[in-house]
Structure 1
Amino acid sequence: MCNDYEQHIRWAEYCDMMQKLELGIPAHQSELDLPRADDVRINDMAPVMHATGDNIALSQMNFSFPPTGRGGPVFNFRSEGRQFANSKRCLIPASAFFEFTGKKYPKAKHRFTLNDATFLAIAGIWREGQGNHPAAFTMLTTMPGRDVEPYHNRQVVVLRPENWAAWIYLTKPEAELLRPLPGGSLIAETVRAGID
């Protein structure tokens, strides 16, 4: 399951997209709020888009909820059968996400990008920090679409830009948003061959 993504979004591209979608950008935000990262992994701090009044703000949060009990950190959260109206919804901006195949390390690494956009957003939920833990986010998952199915039996929920506000403000049914994109929406590229 996706535990690694890439964030190579230029500030100008982000601003252009936000203006096109009429989502607004807080005046105090700048390119410093959208740092470049080749690999964002579990427990890394990364920018997350969330509602703040009339705008969508970028805030640095921890990638994964802290463990509860004996389990590990929660970095992927199954969306099926759940309702998120009372959750803090967010978008994780990414230029690509990765899936891994194989049984031996290093596993083959596959990079997925959105076919018709310079960057994508993954549906997520976030929580305020507790104690000495910072605010944190997790990615929502669903059954795989045609593009991801050859690589994994689950996938993160990738939202097209026209559905970003619908997820943040929940103005469309969750079942309509939290599903895989149609086949051909994602481009897969193997960026590292694995060991057989």
Structure 2
Amino acid sequence: MCGRFAIYSQPPELSRRLGLPEPDAGWAARYNVTPGTWIPGAYRPDSESDLALGQLWWGYRPHWATGKAPEPINAKVEGVATSRYFKGAFARHRCLIPADGWYEWLAGPDGKQPHFICREDREILWLAGIWSERADGAPGCAILTEPARGLAAEVHDRMPLALDDDSIEPWLDPDLTDRETIRHVVRHVQADAITHWPVSTRVNRPGNDDATLLEPVTP
């Protein structure tokens, strides 16, 4: 599961990491990103387009789907390449969602305690995603999840698929469409690179969005 995350790293830094021209402006830091909002993403609008760092709607519903079709925010790696709903986007419309970390909730005797999960070195995480044009023409995305690994498994049984730096280029390559080839050339970050700590329950309210949400607390 990945239902909340933080992105405070700025476009110039992300563009350099992606080999893109440095943009003129940044964006407002966000410490409590929720589904159903615009989020930054690296993607190609079509197979002939150059890679761009743009905005994607966090909610995946292909334009061909009916009005009552689901609008998932996540897609499991175990079935994304074969599911009718996702397989077209997995083959042709893969994207990356930059995040400085994400939140999960650990059940305890006094309720659910939120934790912030990130790289131990605080480097940016590149979350694997898929996108599709929605009925309104906007690009909508879902973040891929996998079984939790390392310390992340202490908090939740699933985690976003965070790719290592060497996997960025093949993941975004529009000429790679075969799922077995993709599986063999794409790697997630090492489990021991991930850490977490408990944070304030203020993050439970989407309206709370400031840097203090990341500060460790004593449960």
Q: TM-score range by the shorter chain?
A: 0.7 to 0.9
2:56 is matched with 61
Kindly indicate whether residue 110 of structure 2 is the aligned counterpart of residue 112 of structure 1. Answer: no
What is the SS of the residue equivalent to 2:153?
Answer: coil
Kindly indicate whether residue 140 of structure 2 is the aligned counterpart of residue 136 of structure 1. Answer: yes
Q: TM-score with structure 1 length normalisation? A: 0.79
CA contact (8 A) 1:147 1:186 kept: yes
The offset of 1:24, in angstroms, is 2.5
The offset of 1:80, in angstroms, is 1.2
RMSD across aligned C-alpha pairs, in angstroms?
Answer: 3.2
* Closer, same or farther: CA 180–147 of 1 in aligned 2, 3 Å: farther
How many Å separate the matches in 1 of 2:120 and 2:99? 13
Structure 1 gaps of 5+ residues are: none
How many Å separate the matches in 1 of 2:154 and 2:190? 14
CA contact (8 A) 2:2 2:145 kept: no
Structure ranking higher in helix proportion = 2
Residue 167 of structure 2 aligns with an amino acid whose one-letter code is N
Residue 156 of structure 1 aligns with an amino acid whose one-letter code is P
Percent identity among equivalent residues?
21
The offset of 1:161, in angstroms, is 2.0
CA contact (8 A) 1:93 1:119 kept: yes
Residue 25 of structure 2 aligns with an amino acid whose one-letter code is E
1:51 is matched with 44
Residue 188 of structure 1 aligns with an amino acid whose one-letter code is H
Deviations 1:110-137 (A, max 9, x none): 1111234521110000111313x63211
How many Å separate the matches in 2 of 1:141 and 1:178? 14
Larger radius of gyration: 2
Question: Greater CA deviation, 98-107 or 109-118?
Answer: 98-107
Task: Tell me which of 31, 56, 64 is aligned to 2:25.
Answer: 31
1:174 is matched with 182
How many Å separate the matches in 2 of 1:98 and 1:38? 10
Task: Tell me which of 41, 45, 48 is aligned to 2:34.
Answer: 41
